[in-house]
Structure 1
Amino acid sequence: MTFVRRNVWELGDDWAEEILWYARGVAAMKARGLNEPTGWRFYAGMHGFNAARWQELGYLFATDTPPTQADFSTFWRQCQHGSWYFLPWHRGYVLALEANIRAEVVALGGPEDWALPYWNYFKPGQDALPPAFGSPDWPDGVGDNPLYVEQRYGPDGDGNVFVPTDQVNLDALNDPDFTGVTGGGSTGFGGVDTGFSHNGSLHGGIETQPHDWVHGLVGGQSVQPPETVGAMADPRTAGLDPIFWLHHANIDRLWASWNLDTTHLDPSQQPWLLGPASTGERAFCAPMPDGTTFTYTPEEMMNLPDLGYEYDDLTPAVAPPPPPGPAGPVVDDGEEGVAVPETEVELVGSNDKAVPVAGRESRTQVRLDSSARQKVGDRIDAADSGEEGVAAPDRVFLNLENVRGRSDATAFSVYLGLGDDEDPAEHPERLAGSIAPFGVSEASDFDDEHAGAGLNFVLEVTGIVNELHREGRLAADDLSVRVVPRRPPGGKSELSIGRISIVRQGR
C-alpha cells in the first residue's frame, strides 16, 4: 500500500476525515506518560528538550516519570539542525510519527490508509493556520481539541497565526548543490558536511528558508508580559505542537520537489549515506507502535517509493527566482562516484563591529577589499559582454556570523546597498533575505556544544551585487547593510549579529 500525503487546505472542509483522525491519534498519544516511547511528549523530546521551557509551557510536571537513561540516551535530543543530515533525519522522524498515529487511527476503527497531511503555506490563500488547529474545541463544540496549542502567538505576537508570504521564499530550490561549503560560500540546498549535529551553527538553504521562518513566526512571542515564546519557535519545544508535523511534511515535500530536477543530486559520500553511526556517533532511530525500534540511515531515506508514501502534488506553488548562472565545472574529489563543484571562496569585505538587532532598524557598513571587489566586477563585465565561452559571474554571499540572542521568535530582514535616505520598504530589489534564528537561544548558551558562538546564516546576494555594479555603486569603499526587524524585539531578546561579511564564490 502506498500512503498519500495531501494538502491540508484541500481536504474538503476544516475538519475533514484526515484531520479528525489525526486529532484522535494525537489525543491517544497524549494520554501516555512522559516515559512511554510511543507517547506524544516522548516523541517531542526526541526533537529537543529543556526542562524549564517544558514547565513554562505546561508540558512537564513534578509527578512525571522521566524516560530511562537508556531511552534518553538513545532517542532524546536527537534532531539534526545546521547539518547535511537535516533533511534525512526529519524524513525518518516524520515517517515514524506518522506510523504511530496511523496505528492509533486503525485501533480506533479508522482507515488503514491514513496519511499525514502537509501545510503548503506558499499556495495562495493557504498561508493561515489551518482552522482545526486554531480552535480549542472539537468540531462538535466541546473543548480539549488536541490540535490546539495556546502558545502560538504568530508573527505579530497577538495570536493571529499565519505565514507572512512576502518574507518567505523558495530560493533554496535553485541551489544546484545539496551540500554546501564552509568559509562563507553557499551552504547548499541541504546543508554543510557535519557529523551528528543536534544544534549546528550553520544552517543550509532550505533550513534557513522557509523552515526556520515558519517555526519562528508561527510560534512567535507574546506581546503581553512575560513575553512567552511559543512552542513552535524553539527547537526544544517545537515537537509538542501538532502543526510541527504538517510543516515538516511540507519541508520533506520540497526536498522531493528539488529532486525532480535530474541535475539535483543527493550526497553520495559514505558518511552521509550511512549516517553518523558509521563513524561511531549516535544512530538515527525512533520507537514504533509494535515495540520495535526503527533505525535508519540517510541512504534509506532517499526514495519515497521505497518508503511507501507519496505526495499528491510536488509543485512548489510559488516559482523560485531564476538561478544566478550556470553551475560551472566539477572536479572529482578522489572518492568513487562523487563529483563536487570546483569552488574558490574569497572574502570581499566585512564590517568592524557587532550589530544589535533592536528598535526599528540597525545600520552598518561593510568595508570592501579593492582587489576582491575588482574580481567580482570584472567577471560581471565579462559575462555581460556576451562573449562566447565566458564564465558566469561569481556567486556572492552575505554572511551573518555569530547571531546570538535569548528569543527564538525574533525575525528580521536584511537589505544591501541602500542609500542613507532610501526606505527599505520601497526597495524590495535590495532585500538580501529574511532570517528567523530558530535555535538561537540554545546556540547562545555558553553550556551549549558550540560554547555560545550563536548561529550563522548565508544569504545569496549575487543578483543585488550584479545590479549595484552595473549602476556604478559597487565602486565605493563600502556597502551599506540595513537590518530591519519584523517588529521591534522585546528587551529580553538581546539579539545581535557578531559580524557581517561578503564573500565571492567562483567556479
Structure 2
Amino acid sequence: MARTRREIYSLGETWNDTVLWYAKAIKELGPRPVTRKASWRYLAAMHDFDRDQWIDLGYLAAGEALPPQAEQDAYWKQCQHGSWYFLPWHRAYLSSFEDIVGAAVKALGGPDDWALPYWNYSSQSNPSALNVPPAFLARTMPDGSANPLFVTARFGRTLNRDSVQLDTQLSDGDFVGIDDGPDAGVGGPRTIFMDHGDTEGLIEAQPHDIVHGQLGGRGGLMSYTTLAALDPIFWLHHANIDRLWEVWLKRDPANKNPAEADWLNGPTRKRRFAIFGPDEKDRASNPQDVLSTEKMGYIYDDTSDPLKGITRRRRRLEDFLAHRQTFTIAEEGRPQAMPAGGKFELMGSNDKKIALGPETATARVKLAPRPLESLTGSFSSTALRADTPGEPDRVFLRLENISGKDGSGIFDVFVRGPDGEHMPVGSISLFGLERASARGGSHAGTGLTKTLEITKAVDALHLNKADLDELEVSIVPRSDVRKEDQIKVGQITLYRQSGG
C-alpha cells in the first residue's frame, strides 16, 4: 500500500512522530562520508555542488575525499531548472531521498511506512501556513540534543502571502508553453538536459523560486542551488511543489502531461538522469517512470483544487469586469485579434541595460502603435464571452538576460499607467543567477529570463495608443541587494500573445 505524504501542520504537535523520525534519520545520514551515495551530503550534491561554498560553510573539510570525477559527472549537479524536466526530475530525486531517509528511519526502529511531510504555505485555512514550521526553528530536540532540522544559514522565518499565490499557475492549462515565446507553460519550456536554463515554467517561477529566496535570504542555504538541498526544509518545500503538479493535473481533465517522446524518455543528449534507491543501485527515473505517484509508492493527503474550478478565462472575465467602468472600448468594428494558436508579437522594448541594486530601478518600454491597437481591441466583453472561440490576447513582460554575482535577491515589479498609477505585476527571485551567469555554464552566461504576465494590469490601465507610447517599469528590491552583486537586466520586452 502507498504511504501518505501529509501536510506538516496537520500532523499536530511540533515534535510529532513523522518530524521526530525525520530529524533522527538526518542525524544518522549526516556524518556518513560524502563519497557514500546514501548520505546526506551526497544527496545534496546531486542537486548542485560548489566545493568552496561547502568548505566555507563547514559542510566539507578542506582536503576531504570526494567521489571520483567520473562519478561526480554522472550523479552530481543534476538539478533541472528552466526546463520541462523541472517537475519530473525533482519528483524522482525527492522519491530517492524519501526512500533513503525511510530506510534509515526503519533501521533506527521507526515505522516502515514513514513518508516525507510537505509544507503547504499557500493554505488559506491555516493561519500559520506562512510561518516556517516550528521544528525547523528549534535549536534542540526534545531530548536536549542538537536539532539537525535547524540550520544557522536560513534567514527567512515568514513568507509573504503574495509570493505563494497560485491563481495564475494552476489556472493555466498548458504544461509546455510556446517554443521561444513568452509563455513557458506550467511545467517549463522544451529543453535538453538543462541544469540551469534561462526561462522557467509558472510553478517554478512562483512559488518555487520565491520561497527559496525568502527562506534563504542573503547567504542562506536555500538561496543558492549549490547549497539548497543541505537545508532539511528544502525537501518539504519540494514535496509541496510536487504536490502542486498533482493538483494541477487533477483540477481539470484537460490538463495533461506532455506526450512527446523527448519528454517521456528524458534527455538523451549531453547527460541522462542518474537516480538510485536505498541500495545505491540506479533505478528508472525518466519522466515516463514518475507519472504515477501511487506506483512510485506514495500519495498526498490533499490534492484538492484551491481555485474551486476557476479557469483562466473565467478569471480574465472577472478581472475585466472589475475594471469595466474605467476601461471602455468599442464593441463594434474593433481591430482583429491575433489568430489563435499560440502566436506572439513583440509590442515594444527598452533601449539599454539597467542595473538592479538597493534602490528602485526604472526603465521605459517603447510601445509600437499597431500591436497596441490590436491588443486593446481584443480586450472586450465580447471577446470574453463563453461562445467566443479562444480567448483574448495575453500580455507578458520579460526581463531578459539577467546576470550577476549573487542570486539571493527578490524584486517586486510595477508598471505605471497613463494616469500615473503604479500597478504591481508580480515578483521575481533570482534563484540560480550565479550558475546562469557563468560563461562556462550550460548556456554560456546568458543569464536568467523572468517573465511576468501583466494582462490583468493592462486590463486595469486600459492602455491604448491615444494614451501613451511607452510603458514605465519599476523594479523594487524586496530583499538585501547590493551594488557589488553587479546585477544587470539586458533588456525589457513586452509581448502580446494569442490566447489560443
**TM-score, normalisation: structure 1:** 0.88
Corresponding residue SS for 1:217: helix
Decide whether the 8 Å contact of 1:168 with 1:434 is kept in 2: no
Q: Return the letter of the residue paired with 2:475.
A: V
- Structure 2 unmatched runs, 5+: 317-339
Paired residues for 1:291-330 under 5 Å: 291-315=280-304, 323-324=312-313
Cross-structure match for 1:349: 348
Corresponding residue SS for 1:498: strand
Corresponding residue SS for 2:476: strand
Cross-structure match for 1:148: 150
Q: Return the letter of the residue paired with 2:185.
A: G
Residues 150/370 of structure 1: CA separation in 2 closer, same or farther (3 Å cut): same
Corresponding residue SS for 1:4: strand
Residues 358-396 of structure 1: CA deviation (Å, up to 9, x unaligned): 234111111011111111112124735859546521111
Cross-structure match for 2:253: 262
Query: Aligned partners of 1:137, 1:316: CA distance in 2, in Å?
Result: 37
Which of these residues, 449, 455, 458, is aligned with residue 456 of structure 1?
449
Corresponding residue SS for 1:483: strand
Cα shift at 1:216: 1.0
Cross-structure match for 2:488: 496
Decide whether the 8 Å contact of 1:349 with 1:501 is kept in 2: yes
Query: Aligned partners of 2:315, 2:399: CA distance in 1, in Å?
Result: 26
Residues 420/488 of structure 1: CA separation in 2 closer, same or farther (3 Å cut): farther
Q: Return the letter of the residue paired with 1:206.
A: I
Paired residues for 1:370-381 under 5 Å: 370-381=369-380
Worse overlay, 359-368 or 212-221: 359-368
Query: Aligned partners of 1:142, 1:387: CA distance in 2, in Å?
Result: 61
Decide whether the 8 Å contact of 1:326 with 1:392 is kept in 2: no
Q: Is the counterpart of residue 82 in structure 1 residue 82 in structure 2?
A: yes
Cross-structure match for 1:467: 460
Q: Return the letter of the residue paired with 1:137.
A: T
Cross-structure match for 1:237: 227
Corresponding residue SS for 1:492: helix
Residues 110/378 of structure 1: CA separation in 2 closer, same or farther (3 Å cut): same
Decide whether the 8 Å contact of 2:357 with 2:481 is kept in 1: yes
Residues 91/474 of structure 1: CA separation in 2 closer, same or farther (3 Å cut): farther
Cross-structure match for 1:157: none
Decide whether the 8 Å contact of 1:400 with 1:500 is kept in 2: yes
Cα shift at 1:472: 5.3
Cross-structure match for 2:33: 33
Query: Aligned partners of 1:135, 1:113: CA distance in 2, in Å?
Result: 26
Query: Aligned partners of 1:25, 1:402: CA distance in 2, in Å?
Result: 41
Decide whether the 8 Å contact of 2:193 with 2:269 is kept in 1: no
Decide whether the 8 Å contact of 2:49 with 2:227 is kept in 1: yes
Residues 421/321 of structure 1: CA separation in 2 closer, same or farther (3 Å cut): farther
Query: Aligned partners of 2:265, 2:91: CA distance in 1, in Å?
Result: 15
Cα shift at 1:183: 3.2
Query: Aligned partners of 1:488, 1:103: CA distance in 2, in Å?
Result: 40
Residues 343/25 of structure 1: CA separation in 2 closer, same or farther (3 Å cut): same
Query: Aligned partners of 2:451, 2:310: CA distance in 1, in Å?
Result: 17
Cα shift at 1:62: 2.0
Question: Once the two structures are aligned, what percentage of the paired residues are identical?
Answer: 40
Residues 306-326 of structure 1: CA deviation (Å, up to 9, x unaligned): 212111111365779751469
Cross-structure match for 1:139: 142
Residues 36-79 of structure 1: CA deviation (Å, up to 9, x unaligned): 11111100110001111111211111242101223212210111
Decide whether the 8 Å contact of 2:313 with 2:384 is kept in 1: no
Q: Is the counterpart of residue 447 in structure 1 residue 447 in structure 2?
A: no
Decide whether the 8 Å contact of 2:163 with 2:211 is kept in 1: no
Residues 488/220 of structure 1: CA separation in 2 closer, same or farther (3 Å cut): closer
Corresponding residue SS for 1:19: helix
Which of these residues, 419, 431, 452, is aligned with residue 438 of structure 1?
431
Residues 387-446 of structure 1: CA deviation (Å, up to 9, x unaligned): 954652111111110111222210001112346854x5xxxxx22111111100121122
Query: Aligned partners of 1:230, 1:452: CA distance in 2, in Å?
Result: 23
Query: Aligned partners of 2:298, 2:386: CA distance in 1, in Å?
Result: 48
Cross-structure match for 2:478: 486
Cross-structure match for 2:159: 163
Query: Aligned partners of 2:360, 2:87: CA distance in 1, in Å?
Result: 33
- Structure 1 unmatched runs, 5+: 155-160, 222-228, 328-340, 425-429
Cross-structure match for 1:51: 51
Count residues with an aligned counterpart: 471
Residues 357/106 of structure 1: CA separation in 2 closer, same or farther (3 Å cut): same
Corresponding residue SS for 1:286: coil
Query: Aligned partners of 1:81, 1:12: CA distance in 2, in Å?
Result: 34
Q: Return the letter of the residue paired with 2:253.
A: T
Residues 420/113 of structure 1: CA separation in 2 closer, same or farther (3 Å cut): same
Query: Aligned partners of 2:453, 2:199: CA distance in 1, in Å?
Result: 14
Paired residues for 1:379-394 under 5 Å: 379-381=378-380, 383=382, 389=388, 391-394=390-393
Residues 13/419 of structure 1: CA separation in 2 closer, same or farther (3 Å cut): farther
Query: Aligned partners of 1:196, 1:501: CA distance in 2, in Å?
Result: 27
Cross-structure match for 1:104: 104
Cα shift at 1:27: 1.2
Q: Return the letter of the residue paired with 2:187.
A: G
Decide whether the 8 Å contact of 2:408 with 2:430 is kept in 1: yes
Query: Aligned partners of 1:385, 1:5: CA distance in 2, in Å?
Result: 40
Residues 109-165 of structure 1: CA deviation (Å, up to 9, x unaligned): 10011000001111232111111111221122232x1111110112xxxxxx12111
Which of these residues, 216, 224, 228, is aligned with residue 213 of structure 2?
216
After superposition, the CA RMSD in angstroms is: 2.2
Cα shift at 1:200: 0.7
Query: Aligned partners of 2:103, 2:475: CA distance in 1, in Å?
Result: 47
Decide whether the 8 Å contact of 1:254 with 1:316 is kept in 2: no
Query: Aligned partners of 1:385, 1:75: CA distance in 2, in Å?
Result: 49
Q: Is the counterpart of residue 249 in structure 1 residue 225 in structure 2?
A: no
Cross-structure match for 1:395: 394
Decide whether the 8 Å contact of 2:26 with 2:40 is kept in 1: yes
Cross-structure match for 1:338: none
Residues 320/459 of structure 1: CA separation in 2 closer, same or farther (3 Å cut): farther
Residues 119/390 of structure 1: CA separation in 2 closer, same or farther (3 Å cut): closer
Worse overlay, 351-360 or 173-182: 351-360
Decide whether the 8 Å contact of 1:96 with 1:294 is kept in 2: no
Cα shift at 1:175: 1.1
Corresponding residue SS for 1:187: coil
Query: Aligned partners of 2:223, 2:253: CA distance in 1, in Å?
Result: 34
Cross-structure match for 2:322: none
Cα shift at 1:493: 2.0
